[in-house]
């Protein structure tokens, strides 16, 4: 299974590279297609507003990001941006707020779109339904190792993490700000899909994933309330839910005004079309306030 | 007679030579092939043992590969980690282990922790025993003899996050079914020994029997096996050994079958050559003998009757050609005989009148004289002369004269008897010789001829030519002297004719002897 996933990842990355970075002679003009690649959660937003953006800007957009659970994540978004050229303009989709250093070094402009709550997941059979922030952090750090310590069954907690984009702020760092603070007795997965499957496999599992990743009806996971609140955009907006990450699109600073306008349009359209993302519990960011 | 110079003898000799050559060649082939077969059997034994060695090595390699696949599976590593390090339930690990590796073509599989405790997979005693042994020796592949039989066991440590979690152990069982499968492939017998004692075999009686590398032959179930050991150097446990054997009986049965085949070819080959040779000899000999017989007859002046055959070979063509040649000769001989007869007839007959000539008279007279002597009967001679024939020639020409001679000859022939000999002595003079007739009888015949001549004129063109004849008769008993007898007959007849001419012609005169007898007394 793991081999299969790696193989799929290689194929998809190759396809993305081919589509993104091969000059398209047929579109070597201002009417060319914009392409984008990157994180799945941001792809969810862009995919929903794409028709409006294309209508608004009069240009076709091709998005690669649906399979981001396979590893086509933020790094692919940044790479897509850096490879942009006059012949083939592209932008990136990221699921983490980039550090100032990285933005400066790579000469990027970040256009935040929305905040995504991070779900705290356990096996569906786990009787625990709520934990406070401290307990969540203690479990991830390894201070709490048995469910009975939080009122559950006498089972060792199986911590499952996905500590991606370790040098970037935000996301899982809203739980523990450093990977070193996570318990070493854990398993670390490479995608949201694996996260959901691992947590579903072990009755004592404990993990995290963005709300944009729909777990599916057959998933054997459930969402643990934090401080009594579910990871909804309302709770996030009200400041009741503590764990989240920032979704954004990025461009080169030297990118054409056309693509920059497209990014700005994306921000506006995301904010304007908030209802489109209710299922995924994404909280659009007001571009005027950013 | 059997002479080497004849083709028949040579043919017999060649047939015998070919038969002997065939027999010797096949016999030598048989004896040498037997050795070749035995050598080839030994080579085959070595080749097959090497193939089995390769096959077993590939099995070991394959099992090692499977171990590697399990060991390197990240999900399995994670789940082992969760079980061994976090003490989570084993069910997900069992499920993943089964889901991910249930397809592997192996008999047993387990995952153990670092203490050797099985955390997933089959839990039979044998694989526990195997896993302990492999773990303790930290070896990757091994044959282990267990209560359930021989196991091929491969193991490998499983690592996750720089930590060794335990071992994966896979095994395949060698039982009699497995051996039988290998025996079907190798067409021989396979034994496995543990500490030089047969521990696994498809032959129950072999179990427990001692076996060492020095043993090259083994008697099993009334059959001798030629043995060789299969090398398995890449495993630690040297107590286990594989032996491969081929049945000598099977090899010998092949040789016996080959011998029977060769003998069959020798016997029927030679018989075939001899029979064919005899047929050939017969077909060759018979027409040759026939030809020889015919040539002998031809050499003796005979022309044997021949029949032609439908030609199938050179001898048939030769025989037919010879028949054609004899038939041709026969035709030529007939022509020659006819020509000779004609010549002979021409020699003794007168060409104008076709009556015998004087030459034939000299030939035939001795026979008549001899017969008259034997029969004691007289010989009568009548000389006939056409009267005034010169005048006919003068008056009517020689052609008319010839016509008169021709028609008179015909008259003479028609009025004479079958036993009368008619001659033209020359010119217009003819002779009738008759045997055993009385003077009266002869006279009557002469008279009849005279009258017939007188009454039968010759019609030559528009001219009627009347003819008469004069006849002189003499009847005598011939003496032993042929010449004297003929001269006497002709002389006395001629005297009588002269008398007839003198006395007016157209008459018949009988010669009278001195005693006044018309017939000379038998001396």
Locate the chain B residue with the closest alpha carbon to A195. Answer: B75
Please name the residues in contact with A221: beta carbons below 8 A apart, sequence gap of 6 or more.
Answer: A121, A122, A123, A124, A196, A199, A200, A205, A207, A215
Short-list A284, A183, A281, CA closest to A241: A281
Q: Give A185's contacts in chain B (Cβ within 8 Å).
A: 85-86
Across the interface, of B73, B81, B87, the residue whose CB is closest to A187 is B81
* Tokens representing residue A233 in the block: 């955009």
Across the interface, of B74, B75, B88, the residue whose CB is closest to A156 is B88
Q: What is the pLDDT of residue B234?
A: 66
Q: Give B82's contacts in chain A (Cβ within 8 Å).
A: 158, 187, 202
CATH of domain A2-114+247-277: 3.40.190.10
Q: Which of A190-199, B279-288, B392-401 is predicted with the least confidence, judged by mean pLDDT? A: B279-288
Mean pLDDT, rounded, for A71-96: 83
The dihedrals phi and psi of B498, each to the nearest 5 degrees, come to -60, -40
Across the interface, of A2, A184, A187, the residue whose CB is closest to B82 is A187
Instruction: Tell me the CA distances in angstroms from B223 to A96, B186, B197, B255, one per residue in order.
Output: 80, 18, 20, 15
Cα B396 to Cα B466: distance, rounded to the nearest angstrom: 12
- The answer to whether the CB atoms of B78 and A198 lie below 8 A apart is yes
DSSP chain A: -HHHHHHHHHHHHHHHHHHHHS--GGG-STTPPEEEEE-HHHHHHHHHHHHHHHHHH---EEEE-TTGGGT-SHHHHHHHHHT--SSS-EEEEESSPPPHHHHHHTTEEEEEEEEEEEEEEEETT----EE-HHHHHHHHHTS--BGGGGTS-S-B-EEEE---STTS-SGGGGT-SSGGGS-SSEEE-SSHHHHHHHHHH-TTEEEEEETTS---TT--EEEPEETTB-S-HHHHHTT----EEEEEEEEETTS-HHHHHHHHHHHHHHHHTGGGGTTTT-EEPPTTT-
CB A58, CB A64: distance < 8 Å = no
pLDDT at A210 over 80: yes
* Tokens representing residue A282 in the block: 């994404």
pTM over 0.90: no
* Tokens representing residue B487 in the block: 């001269």
Q: Which of A173-187, A253-267, B119-133 is predicted with the least confidence, judged by mean pLDDT? A: B119-133
Q: Give A202's contacts in chain B (Cβ within 8 Å).
A: 82, 88-89, 92
Would you tell me which residues 174-213 of chain A have a C-beta closer than 8 angstroms to some C-beta of chain B? Answer: 184-185, 187, 189, 198, 201-205
Q: Specify the higher pLDDT residue, A30 or B216.
A: B216
**Domain covering B28-249: architecture:** 2-Layer Sandwich (3.30)
Q: Give A157's contacts in chain B (Cβ within 8 Å).
A: 86
Across the interface, of B74, B87, B92, the residue whose CB is closest to A2 is B74
The mean predicted confidence, pLDDT, of chain B is: 85
Mean pLDDT, rounded, for A53-77: 76
pLDDT at B478 over 80: yes
Locate the chain B residue with the closest alpha carbon to A204. Answer: B88
- The answer to whether the CB atoms of A155 and B88 lie below 8 A apart is yes
Question: Whose structure tokens read 């400041």?
Answer: A239
pLDDT at B138 over 70: no
pLDDT at B344 over 60: yes
Q: Give A189's contacts in chain B (Cβ within 8 Å).
A: 78
Q: How far apart are the first and last CA of chain B?
A: 66
**Domain covering B349-510: architecture:** 2-Layer Sandwich (3.30)
Across the interface, of B75, B81, B88, the residue whose CB is closest to A204 is B88
CA distance A3 to chain B (A): 8
DSSP code at position B57: H
**For chain A, which residues make up each domain, given as ranges?**
2-114+247-277, 116-237
pLDDT at A107 over 80: yes
CA distance A185 to chain B (A): 7
Across the interface, of A3, A145, A202, the residue whose CB is closest to B82 is A202
What element of type H or E holds B288?
helix B248-299
CA atoms within 13 A on the CB side of A24: 18
Would you tell me which residues 372-431 of chain B have a C-beta closer than 8 angstroms to some C-beta of chain A? Answer: none
| Sign of the alpha-carbon dihedral angle for A267, A270, A273, A275 | negative
Q: What is the pLDDT of residue A19?
A: 45
CA distance B217 to chain A (A): 52
DSSP code at position B303: -
Cα B11 to Cα A31: distance, rounded to the nearest angstrom: 105
Would you tell me which residues 78-107 of chain B have a C-beta closer than 8 angstroms to some C-beta of chain A? Answer: 78-79, 81-82, 85-89, 92, 95-96, 100
* Tokens representing residue A285 in the block: 């960011």
Q: What is the pLDDT of residue A25?
A: 35
Which of A3, A71, A201 should we substitute to test contact with B (largest number of B Cβ atoms within 10 Å)? A201
pLDDT at B368 over 80: yes
Short-list A121, A139, A134, A142, CA closest to A227: A134
**For chain B, which residues make up each domain, given as ranges?**
28-249, 349-510
Q: Give A155's contacts in chain B (Cβ within 8 Å).
A: 88-89
Cα B47 to Cα A235: distance, rounded to the nearest angstrom: 78
Locate the chain B residue with the closest alpha carbon to A201. Answer: B92
Tens of pLDDT, residue by residue over B371-393, are 998 998 999 999 999 999 999 99
CATH of domain A116-237: 3.40.190.10
Across the interface, of B73, B74, B88, the residue whose CB is closest to A158 is B88
CA atoms within 13 A on the CB side of A276: 16
Would you tell me which residues 135-164 of chain B have a C-beta closer than 8 angstroms to some C-beta of chain A? Answer: 161
pLDDT at B323 over 90: no
* Tokens representing residue A167 in the block: 């040098």
Please name the residues in contact with A27: beta carbons below 8 A apart, sequence gap of 6 or more.
Answer: A33, A87, A88
DSSP code at position B416: S
């Amino acid at each position: 299974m793991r081999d299969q996933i790696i193989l799929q990842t290689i194929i998809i990355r190759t396809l993305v590279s081919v589509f993104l970075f091969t000059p398209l002679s047929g579109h070597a003009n201002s009417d060319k297609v914009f392409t984008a690649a990157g994180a799945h959660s941001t792809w969810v937003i862009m995919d929903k507003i794409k028709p409006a953006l294309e209508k608004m800007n009069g240009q076709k957009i091709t998005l690669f990001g649906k399979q981001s659970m396979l590893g086509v994540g933020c790094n692919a978004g940044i790479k897509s941006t850096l490879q942009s050229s006059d012949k083939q303009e592209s932008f990136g989709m990221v699921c983490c707020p980039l550090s100032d250093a990285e933005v400066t070094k790579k000469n990027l402009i970040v256009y935040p779109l929305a905040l995504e709550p991070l779900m705290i997941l356990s096996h569906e059979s786990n009787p625990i339904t709520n934990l406070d922030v401290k307990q969540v952090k203690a479990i991830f750090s390894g201070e709490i190792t048995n469910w009975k310590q939080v009122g559950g069954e006498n089972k060792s907690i199986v911590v499952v993490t996905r500590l991606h984009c370790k040098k970037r702020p935000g996301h899982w760092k809203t739980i523990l700000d450093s990977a070193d603070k996570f318990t070493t007795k854990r398993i670390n997965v490479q995608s949201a899909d694996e996260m959901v499957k691992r947590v579903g496999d072990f009755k004592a599992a404990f993990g995290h994933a963005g709300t944009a990743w729909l777990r599916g009806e057959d998933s054997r996971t459930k969402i643990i309330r934090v401080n009594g609140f579910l990871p909804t955009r309302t709770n996030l907006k009200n400041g009741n839910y503590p764990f989240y990450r920032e979704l954004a699109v990025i461009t080169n600073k030297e990118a054409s005004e056309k693509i920059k306008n497209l990014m700005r349009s994306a921000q506006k359209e995301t904010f304007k079309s908030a209802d489109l993302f209710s299922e995924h519990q994404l909280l659009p960011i007001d571009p005027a306030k950013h | 007679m059997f002479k080497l110079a004849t083709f028949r003898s040579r043919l017999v000799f060649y047939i015998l030579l070919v038969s002997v050559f065939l027999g010797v060649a096949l016999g030598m082939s048989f004896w040498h092939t037997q050795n070749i077969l035995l050598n080839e059997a030994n080579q085959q034994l070595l080749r097959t043992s090497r193939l089995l060695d390769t096959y077993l090595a590939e099995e070991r390699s394959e099992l090692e590969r499977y171990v590697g696949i399990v060991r390197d599976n990240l999900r399995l590593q994670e789940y082992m980690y969760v079980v061994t390090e976090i003490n989570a339930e084993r069910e997900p690990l069992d499920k993943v282990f089964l889901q991910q590796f249930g397809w592997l073509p192996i008999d047993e599989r387990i995952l153990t922790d670092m203490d050797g405790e099985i955390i997933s997979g089959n839990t039979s005693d044998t694989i526990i025993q195997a896993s302990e042994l492999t773990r303790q020796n930290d070896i990757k592949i091994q044959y282990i003899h267990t209560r359930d039989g021989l196991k091929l066991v491969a193991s490998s440590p499983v690592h996750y996050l720089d930590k060794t979690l335990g071992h994966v152990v896979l095994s395949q069982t060698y039982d009699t079914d497995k051996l039988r499968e290998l025996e079907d492939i190798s067409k021989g017998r396979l034994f496995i020994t543990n500490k030089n004692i047969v521990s696994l075999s498809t032959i129950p009686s072999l179990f427990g029997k001692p076996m060492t590398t020095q043993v090259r032959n083994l008697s099993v179930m009334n059959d001798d096996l030629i043995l060789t050991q299969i090398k398995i150097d890449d495993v630690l446990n040297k107590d286990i050994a594989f032996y491969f054997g081929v049945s000598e009986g099977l090899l010998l049965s092949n040789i016996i079958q080959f011998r029977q085949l060769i003998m069959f070819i020798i016997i029927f080959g030679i018989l075939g050559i001899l029979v064919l040779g005899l047929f050939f000899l017969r077909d060759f000999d018979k027409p040759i003998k026939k030809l020889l017989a015919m040539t002998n007859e031809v050499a003796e002046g005979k022309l044997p009757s021949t029949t032609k055959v439908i030609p199938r070979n050179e001898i048939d063509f030769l025989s037919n050609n010879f028949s054609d040649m004899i038939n041709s000769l026969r035709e030529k001989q007939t022509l020659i005989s006819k020509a000779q007869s004609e010549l002979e007839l021409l020699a003794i007959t007168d060409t104008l009148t076709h009556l015998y000539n004087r030459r034939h008279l000299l030939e035939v007279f001795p026979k008549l004289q001899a017969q008259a002597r034997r029969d004691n009967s007289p010989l009568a001679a009548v000389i006939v002369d056409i009267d005034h024939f010169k005048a006919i020639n003068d008056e009517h020409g020689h052609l008319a004269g010839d016509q008169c001679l021709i028609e008179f000859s015909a008259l003479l022939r028609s009025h004479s008897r079958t036993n009368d000999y008619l001659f033209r002595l020359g010119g217009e003079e003819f002779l009738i010789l008759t045997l055993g007739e009385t003077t009266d009888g002869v006279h009557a015949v002469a008279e009849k001829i005279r009258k017939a001549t007188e009454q039968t004129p010759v019609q030559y063109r528009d001219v009627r030519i009347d003819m008469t004849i004069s006849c002189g008769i003499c009847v005598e008993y011939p003496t032993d002297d042929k010449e004297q007898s003929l001269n006497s007959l002709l002389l006395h007849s001629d005297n009588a004719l002269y008398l007839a001419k003198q006395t007016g012609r157209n008459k018949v005169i009988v010669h009278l002897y001195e005693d006044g007898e018309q017939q000379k007394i038998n001396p």
